[in-house]
Structure 1
Amino acid sequence: MDGHDGDNSKQSTADMTAFVQNLLQQMFRFLNCVVLDEMGNRIDELEQSINDLRAEMGQEGSPSPSAPAKAREEPKSGEDS
């Protein structure tokens, strides 16, 4: 044996390792995108369900519960002047 087979084997192993690492990184990025897309879809569905419920309750025109209390209060008569 002249030692070249060992060098080729080491290079082949290093190439395979680099290939597998690259493949795993690409799969990880892809899965992250899929997960984010799915979360976005679920959020959209949740928002639609909330809007549907608000419409059913007749509260479409009501101010958001997160709005400041003063903005939600109606002015009392005589306080405008």
Structure 2
Amino acid sequence: MEKDSGDGKQNTADMTQFVSSFTFDFQNRFQTINVLDEMGERISELEQSINDLRAEMGAEGTQPPPSPSKKDGSA
């Protein structure tokens, strides 16, 4: 029994579509990972800036304002 050449073309088209779809999905996931990495770096930089400001405030002898939720100890 001889195979129809149309089946081969369909299999090739199916495989091409699969590879194309897989590549597209892979690229999207990779871009998402890159965005998350960039966000993580920016957060780290922000944390470092905050820590630097706190250290600078401490070096100047500036005390943070008292927390409004704390009482003076009287009951």
TM-score of the alignment, normalized to the shorter chain, above 0.5? yes
Q: State percent identity of aligned pairs.
A: 38
> 1:30 and 1:10 mapped to 2: Cα distance?
30
> 1:29 and 1:16 mapped to 2: Cα distance?
20
> 2:41 and 2:29 mapped to 1: Cα distance?
19
Corresponding residue for 1:69?
68
> 1:60 and 1:12 mapped to 2: Cα distance?
72
Greater relative contact order, per chain length (Cα 8 Å cut-off, separation 6+): 1
String of CA shifts for 1:52-76, please: whole Å, max 9, x gaps. Answer: 122212378637xxx95122x6x2x
Segments of structure 2 that go 5 or more residues without pairing to the other structure are none
Corresponding residue for 1:49?
49
* Alpha-carbon distance change, 61 to 8 in structure 1, aligned in 2, over 3 angstroms: farther
Amino acid at match of 1:5: S
SS at match of 1:70: coil
Q: CA RMSD in A?
A: 3.0
Q: What are the residue-to-residue correspondences of 1:1-81 with 2, within 5 Å?
A: 4-58=4-58, 62=64, 69-71=68-70, 75=72, 80=74
TM-score (norm 1): 0.66
Query: How many residues align structurally?
Result: 72
> 1:5 and 1:57 mapped to 2: Cα distance?
78
TM-score (norm 2): 0.70
Alpha-carbon deviation of 1:38? 1.3
